[in-house]
Amino acid sequence: MGAPLLGGNMRFVDLSGRLLGAHVAHAGLIVLWAGAMTLFELSRLNVDLPMYEQNLILLPHLATLGLGIGENGQVIDTYPYYVIAMLHLISSAVLGAGGIYHGVLGPEKLDQQGFGYDWQDGKKMTSILGIHLVLLGIGAALLVLKANQWGGIYDPLVGEVRIVEPNLDPIRIFGYLFGFSPDGWTITGMASVNNLEDIVGGHLWVSLLCISGGIYHIFSEPTGWAKRALIWNGEAYLSYSLGALALAGFSVACFVSVNDIAYPSLFYGAIGETGDSVRAALASVHAALGFLALLGHLWHAYQARAASRGVDYGTFFDLVAKNSTQALTT
Residues 235 and 218 occupy one common structural domain? no
Residues 127 and 107 occupy one common structural domain? no
The answer to the question of residue 205 being in a domain is: yes
Residues 17 and 109 occupy one common structural domain? yes
pLDDT number for residue 252 = 95
Measured distance CA(118)–CA(305) in Å, rounded: 18
The answer to the question of residue 52 being in a domain is: yes
Residues 59 and 78 occupy one common structural domain? yes
Q: pTM, whole model, 2 decimals? A: 0.88
The answer to the question of residue 162 being in a domain is: yes
pLDDT tens digits, 100-146: 999 999 999 998 888 888 888 989 999 999 999 999 999 999 999 99
Q: 290, 225 in Cβ contact below 8 A?
A: no
- Residue segments in the chain with a per-residue pLDDT below the cut of 50: none
Residues 89 and 142 occupy one common structural domain? no
The answer to the question of residue 3 being in a domain is: no
Q: Which of 77, 96, 116 is the last residue of a domain?
A: 116
Residues 111 and 123 occupy one common structural domain? no
204 phi/psi in degrees, rounded to 5? -65, -40
Closest CA to 45 of 34, 56, 36: 56
Give the number of domains in the chain.
3
Measured distance CA(31)–CA(321) in Å, rounded: 39
The answer to the question of residue 258 being in a domain is: yes
Q: Which of 76, 94, 116 is the last residue of a domain?
A: 116
Residues 67 and 112 occupy one common structural domain? yes
The answer to the question of residue 5 being in a domain is: no
The answer to the question of residue 6 being in a domain is: no
By residue range, what is the domain housing residue 146? Answer: 119-222
Q: Which of 194, 222, 250 is the last residue of a domain?
A: 222
pLDDT number for residue 329 = 58
The answer to the question of residue 1 being in a domain is: no
Closest CA to 247 of 257, 259, 239: 239
66 phi/psi in degrees, rounded to 5? 85, 15
pLDDT tens digits, 212-263: 999 999 999 998 898 888 999 888 999 999 999 999 999 999 999 999 999 9
Residues 107 and 123 occupy one common structural domain? no
pLDDT number for residue 308 = 81
